[in-house]
Structure 1
Amino acid sequence: MSTPLVPHHVSSETGARARGRALGEACRDGIHETFAGYASLFAAHGLHPHHVRDHGRAALAEIGGWAPYLAEEIAGIAEGSGLSAWKIGALNARTEILAAAAVTGEGECSTSVVLPGDGTPPRTVQTWDWHDVLRDAMLAWTLEPSPGRRVATFTEYGVVGKIGVNDAGLGVHFNVLRHRSDSADIGVPVHVVARRVLDEATTVEDAVRLARSARLSASTVLTVVTHDDARCLELSPAGVAEVHPEDGFLTHANHFLDPELAKGERTTADVSSTFERGTWLRERAAALGAGDVTERAHALCSHREDGAPVCAHAEQTLPPHQRWESLATISIDVADRRLHVHRGGPCRVSEGAWLTCSAGLTVVR
């Protein structure tokens, strides 16, 4: 049985509110189901619905101040889907809401970037690990956020962006982090930061500038890649740090690498495999630099019994809010401005089941 492709929505609207409204209408069921999934996740972590409502409204205010056009797009998504605006705000702030509840966990993503250094484009790959009950939340989206700027992003229904590439040849990978400075004083959602970087940045320095301009309440690392540069931007309320490649190789799991920010690390080895995965990744530059995207994805195929659960599988005996799985495997081609998305973890990757989205707003199977 073939692996189904991740759903893909293509926007032709150039106005933010109209684009959001059209997405909301087209993806209404997926957005409703995704919000219901997150509502259950928030409740399992002790968040009352009125807390979620207040956090969603706070997020909308922060987005409106930092990226007004994305606030308009979110308002359009709410109108099109028939959900209250605060619920779409909560979806976009799901990282911030979970940080407000001091949630930690076993899983999350592993990212690798290899810079060959001989004019060959960077070779990137990551897993997207999340709760298995939210596997149907995945969405690929291509859009034109402003005249002349095209973006392809892998995200979740109702969330404005996450991992992706733009037509300037700048790509963004995404991993969550947890820092002691994370708080319930909801700031600009990190997913909104990732989307604005895709919308506006043409260089890594542009991405750094944008990231530093946002007031944050939760932590994340954006691995920003161009044809000849790559950097991990570790975002936290305590500050933004830059991690540079070593010998043309850059990897990140879910703990801080910057020495100063690492002093506030909230993730510990007893609850997360991030330190094992980080070590495992750093030892595999050659395999992770493979030219073929499927071969590169297979290089991430390591399970817990292999020493590091880079390819994660949900333990079904655990309650849903404690289960983690590699739901997608993703690679970015900044030279051809293409985003490759495969449903499932590295051990499930097959040659013919990649969805390839172009920042030129076309799909290549």
Structure 2
Amino acid sequence: MTVTGDPEERGYQYGLAARTRIERALRTYADVFMHYASWDWPTVRRHALRFADPIEDFSPASAREIRAIARGAGVEVADILALNTRSEIMFAAPGRARAIAATECTSFALTPERTAPGTTLMGQNWDWVVGARETAIVLKVLRDDGPNFVTVVEAGMLAKVGINSSGVGLCTNTLISDGDEGRLGVPYHVLLRSVLDSDSGAEAAQRIKSTSRANSANYLIADTGGFCVDLETGPGDGACGTITPVDGAVTHANHFLVDGLTGVDRYLERKAHTRSRLHHLTARMQQHRTHTIESLQEALADHGDAPDSVCQHPDATQVPAERTCTVAGIVMDLSARSLVYASGNPCESTWSVPVRIDASS
């Protein structure tokens, strides 16, 4: 799906083209919040509207785009806000709703000396509720008010994993600190979009560091100029943890690796297998001195310690609202400005042809 123009134009095109998947996403999250929190959709929308002002203050263009997506999809602005703030709403919701935030993603970046093409390669498995397989899209945005970009994202959301025409690449992982409680701040998915709005990795990282964040998250950011940093963040505007490549590699799962950012790691407390997923992906990175895109695709198909593995399959014994799985595998070549993806589990899906993004795409 490709959209063009200013925030209003591309937002409207996006909402119109993705209308069916946006409607499906709204039904999916209505079921999730009712199952976990007994919250009906009007309640979810009321909580989403609380984030309208922080988004407007941080990025007026993103706020305009959200309103235009709603117009194109024929839904309320609060509906699109709810999709883009679903992580924050989950932390504000009663007890059980917070459990669904503990999903799985496993990411990596390799600097040029560790790759066969001699370029920075990065990627991840994006794991989430099984319904996201029916709402995920590949969105290409062409514009004059920032770098062009391509992102793999849920329909109606501003951005998730992706790469832009300035050669900035982004992967991400959920983190849950003991300070995550649904506070107001700039939402996670709005910050993800800000990375793809940046002309360099350093600019993107500074935006994350200098912002009052609504919740914890991990941002793995690299660019073609040699910048490669993994930022672990807590909520608010406190210090971020910085992880740089060791022997040309960075890997991350869903637990904090930097001391002092949380008293209790709530994700690790709930799902200790984040450590085993990190172990298996790191071991895969160490199997070869230099990796190809194909060997990285194989790494994302790892089944060590299944069913809680890097490549996670749906558990049919769970109710749909609790059923998580790998939604997509993604590998990016920053110098080529290209992204390949596998819809569903990388072990059994056909990887796409490269999706390229440059200034003239």
With the length of structure 2 as denominator, give the TM-score of the two structures: 0.90
Q: Secondary structure at the match of 1:53?
A: helix
* Structure 1 segments (4+ residues) deviating >6 Å: none
- Is 2:120 the partner of 1:128? no
Shift of 1:305: 4.3
Tell me: CA distance 1:287–1:201, structure 2 relative to 1, closer, same or farther (3 Å): farther
Shift of 1:21: 0.8
Unaligned residue ranges in structure 2 (runs of 5+): none
Name the structure 1 match of 2:213.
216
Name the structure 2 match of 1:114.
110
1:19 to 10, 16, 40: 10
Tell me: CA distance 1:184–1:306, structure 2 relative to 1, closer, same or farther (3 Å): closer
Whole-angstrom CA distance in 1 between matches of 2:46 and 2:88: 12
| Alignment of structure 1 residues 262-341 onto 2, 5 Å | 262-287=262-287, 291-303=291-303, 305=305, 309-341=309-341
- Is 2:49 the partner of 1:57? yes
Identity %: 28
Name the structure 2 match of 1:31.
22
With the length of structure 1 as denominator, give the TM-score of the two structures: 0.89
How far does the alpha carbon of each residue in 1:33-57 deviate from its partner, in whole angstroms, 9 at most, with x for none?
1111111111111134343112211
The answer on whether the counterparts of 1:177 and 1:256 sit within 8 Å (CA) in structure 2 is yes
Tell me: CA distance 1:316–1:186, structure 2 relative to 1, closer, same or farther (3 Å): farther
Unaligned residue ranges in structure 1 (runs of 5+): 1-8
**One-letter amino acid matched to 1:332:** M
Shift of 1:261: 1.2
Tell me: CA distance 1:95–1:343, structure 2 relative to 1, closer, same or farther (3 Å): same
- Is 2:68 the partner of 1:84? no
Shift of 1:355: 4.6
Whole-angstrom CA distance in 2 between matches of 1:144 and 1:79: 20
Whole-angstrom CA distance in 2 between matches of 1:300 and 1:327: 12
Aligned length: 351
Whole-angstrom CA distance in 1 between matches of 2:136 and 2:14: 14
Whole-angstrom CA distance in 2 between matches of 1:32 and 1:316: 24
Q: Secondary structure at the match of 2:99?
A: coil
1:172 to 160, 170, 182: 170
The answer on whether the counterparts of 2:113 and 2:290 sit within 8 Å (CA) in structure 1 is no
**One-letter amino acid matched to 1:346:** P
| Alignment of structure 1 residues 207-246 onto 2, 5 Å | 207-227=204-224, 228-238=226-236, 239=238, 240-246=240-246
Whole-angstrom CA distance in 2 between matches of 1:290 and 1:354: 22
Shift of 1:132: 1.0
Tell me: CA distance 1:11–1:270, structure 2 relative to 1, closer, same or farther (3 Å): closer
Shift of 1:213: 2.9
Shift of 1:267: 1.4
Shift of 1:274: 0.7
Whole-angstrom CA distance in 2 between matches of 1:61 and 1:75: 13
Tell me: CA distance 1:260–1:216, structure 2 relative to 1, closer, same or farther (3 Å): same
Q: Secondary structure at the match of 1:185?
A: coil
Name the structure 2 match of 1:189.
187
Whole-angstrom CA distance in 1 between matches of 2:124 and 2:74: 33
**One-letter amino acid matched to 1:215:** S
Name the structure 2 match of 1:104.
99
Q: Which moved more, 1:101-110 or 1:282-291?
A: 282-291
**One-letter amino acid matched to 2:204:** A
Whole-angstrom CA distance in 2 between matches of 1:23 and 1:289: 41
Q: Give the alignment's Cα RMSD to 1 decimal.
A: 2.2
